[in-house]
Amino acid sequence: MYLKEINLSRVKDGIKIEIAEIVLGIDKGKHEAVLDNYDHYSFIKFPHNRKSVKITNNGDISAYDYNRLEPIHVKNQAEAYHLLAETQWISFDKELPELEQEIIVKAYDNFITRAILEQNEGQQYETIFCLGEEISVSTNEFVGWLPAENVVS
């Protein structure tokens, strides 16, 4: 699964620093990091070794070595992107998609599928109808949701 856009405001600063440590291959939490957040990207600098990581809102993660004045091959790209993408799930407790909006849902067992949010007559809670399957379940059975138009699968 690939996201067309990353909402960087959903990514906690500690997670951004952890992603930078992953791609640089440095020990977690052992070195001072300086974080600058901008509209479309976050920039994480490690003064001790003069290296930096840039995370953009399109999911690009790049690194630079100021000692050698050259880009660094990003290590563990898949692990770093997975951690970044996991921050994007929207909790049904915090925000509901619009009714009949096509969404991607993630269950607590990591099952991911396309679905539509529906509200059944006479019920006080919303239900999810999973596309391609004849099942309807409560929103409290899911980790969260993403707008389907932001997901490339």
Compare 140 and 4 and report the one with higher pLDDT: 4
Q: DSSP readout, 45-72?
A: EETTTTEEEEEETTS-EEEEETTTTEEE
Q: In the numeric block, which tokens belong to residue 83?
A: 């951690």
Report pTM: 0.86
The string of pLDDT tens digits covering residues 39-92 is 999 999 999 999 999 999 999 999 999 999 999 998 899 999 999 999 999 998
Domains of the chain: 2-86 (no CATH), 102-152 (2.30.30)
Q: Confidence band (pLDDT; 50, 70, 90) for 110? A: confident
Predicted confidence (pLDDT) at residue 136 exceeds the cutoff of 70: no
- Share the mean pLDDT of the chain: 89
Amino acid making up residue 120: N
